[in-house]
Amino acid sequence: MKVEIYTDGSARGNPDGPGGYGAVLRYIDPKGQLHERELSQGYKKTTNNRMEMMAAIASLELLRRPCEVDLHSDSQYLVKAFNDHWIDSWIRKGWKRGKNEPVKNVDLWQRLLKAMEPHKVNYIWVKGHVGNELNERCDQLATSAADGNDLLEDPGV
């Protein structure tokens, strides 16, 4: 099954304010019918990067069987980690980067890797805030979640 996912994250007062993520998942069934689902959640205190990652994690964790996934994100942090193989280097170095500094958000990187395991995921960078309909919808979902009342704790902050 081929799935198209768009994701976005938002943080108000990054790095210590409320934040949220939004995602839109789409696939076309064998009969040619489009199915679409939206996800969002807000957090009391988080960062933009963590919300960008949570959008991808929540989307992939929702899939119930192995899929081919095109995951679209305006987060260079997320996309380059895979397309430029940063994550491979971080793992090889025991979750260290650059000058032996610890990689940030290891808890979410590990969770994302686990969520990816059954799938073939292709990360695609999209420029944000330029009128891409699905990226704009994810931004609306993320900011609404960040501004909402049903905010969770982010244990990694």
In the annotated binding site, the residues are 8, 52, 74, 139
- Could you give the CA distance from residue 9 to residue 138 in angstroms, rounded to a whole number? 8
Q: Is 107 a catalytic residue?
A: no
Q: Is 129 a catalytic residue?
A: yes
Q: Is 153 a catalytic residue?
A: no
Catalytic residue, candidates 20, 22, 139, 154: 139
Q: What are the residues whose beta carbons fall under 8 Å from the beta carbon of 93, sequence distance 6 or more?
A: 100
Q: List the binding residues for Mg(2+).
A: 8, 52, 74, 139
Q: How would you class 77 by CB atoms within 10 Å of its CB: exposed for 0-12, middle for 13-18, buried for 19 or more?
A: middle
Catalytic residue, candidates 20, 42, 72, 74: 74
Catalytic residue, candidates 8, 19, 42, 154: 8
Catalytic residue, candidates 42, 52, 72, 154: 52
Q: Is 9 a catalytic residue?
A: yes
Q: What are the residues whose beta carbons fall under 8 Å from the beta carbon of 99, sequence distance 6 or more?
A: none
Active site residues: 8-9, 52, 74, 129, 139
